[in-house]
């Protein structure tokens, strides 16, 4: 497998899809570099991976700070000699009608979901260009594929990233860069925990997650599939959702 010996940095790695991806890729022989704000969880995950014979490093990363992403990429290069893949997984959701005017929540989603990805790209692209190869794998959402009430702004941030990656792909056809958008549907993660203030909306979202949600490992396997392609093959978009999701 081409994953073996690759160096993969993952944001939002302290739980959910990020943590599942770290475990899965490490089990396939990748060296993983983990970033998130909850360092206690990162330290536990590094210890778990190393106990299983894998290689991992971690640092505190706030994706809204460009300097954090630069330090994160530098850690990968200093510890493992290179960076092959950046998985942009950190994201937040605020669910509610636009008429609720949650301006603070909108700004937070723009800062994390859009600017956070841009900060990662800005940190990784110079390294990828210097190496002559690199891969950006970015977790977006099926919320951007099927627009529904209460998710307008969240879906907008995810579609902005989808558009950004397609534009970057078209600018990078000299062969050194691959881009992949992963769109998960209902996945059992902590994303919904701080996403909703309205009790009725929160109850419905929690019920949908419990009823339909798939394990985060399913998304991790999809990310591994995209990474594992030959260097001249790019998996541009993958949608991973429960078979019963409408």
Q: Where are the domains of the chain?
A: 7-240
186 part of the active site: no
On the 0-12 / 13-18 / 19+ scale of CB atoms within 10 A, 241 is buried
User: How much is the pLDDT for 246?
Assistant: 77
Q: Is the pLDDT of residue 238 over 90?
A: yes
Note the pLDDT tens digit of each residue in 135-191.
999 999 998 888 988 899 999 999 999 999 999 999 998 889 999 999 998 898 777
CATH topology of domain 7-240: Rossmann fold (3.40.50)
Dist. CA 235–CA 179, nearest whole Å: 7
Note the pLDDT tens digit of each residue in 71-116.
999 999 999 999 999 999 999 999 888 999 999 999 999 999 999 9
User: How much is the pLDDT for 203?
Assistant: 76
**DSSP 8-state secondary structure symbol assigned to residue 56:** E
User: How much is the pLDDT for 205?
Assistant: 73
User: How much is the pLDDT for 1?
Assistant: 57
**Mean pLDDT across the chain, nearest whole number?**
93
Indicate the pTM of the whole model: 0.93
**Looking at 106, 128, 154, 186, which residue is catalytic?**
154
Average pLDDT for 227-232: 93
Dist. CA 187–CA 79, nearest whole Å: 32
């Amino acid at each position: 497998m081409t994953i073996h010996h690759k160096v993969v940095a993952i944001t939002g790695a302290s739980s959910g899809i990020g943590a599942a991806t770290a475990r899965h890729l490490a089990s396939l022989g990748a060296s993983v570099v983990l970033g998130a704000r909850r360092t206690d969880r990162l330290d536990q995950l590094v210890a778990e991976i190393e106990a299983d014979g894998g290689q991992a490093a971690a640092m505190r990363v706030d994706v809204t700070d460009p300097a954090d992403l630069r330090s994160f990429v530098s850690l990968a290069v200093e510890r493992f000699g290179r960076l092959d893949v950046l998985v942009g997984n950190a994201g937040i959701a605020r669910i509610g009608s636009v008429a609720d005017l949650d301006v603070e929540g909108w700004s937070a989603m723009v800062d994390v979901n859009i600017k956070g990805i841009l900060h990662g790209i800005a940190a990784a692209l110079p390294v990828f260009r210097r190496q002559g190869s690199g891969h950006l794998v970015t977790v977006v959402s099926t919320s951007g594929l099927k627009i529904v009430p209460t998710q307008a702004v969240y879906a907008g941030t995810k579609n902005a990233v989808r558009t950004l990656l397609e534009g970057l792909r078209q600018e990078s056809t000299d062969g050194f860069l691959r881009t992949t958008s992963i769109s998960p549907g209902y996945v059992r993660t902590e994303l919904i925990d701080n996403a909703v203030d309205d009790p009725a909306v929160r109850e419905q979202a929690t019920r949908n997650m419990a009823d339909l949600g798939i394990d985060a490992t399913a998304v991790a396997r999809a990310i591994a599939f995209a990474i594992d392609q030959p260097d001249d093959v790019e998996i541009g978009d993958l949608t991973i959702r429960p078979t019963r999701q409408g």
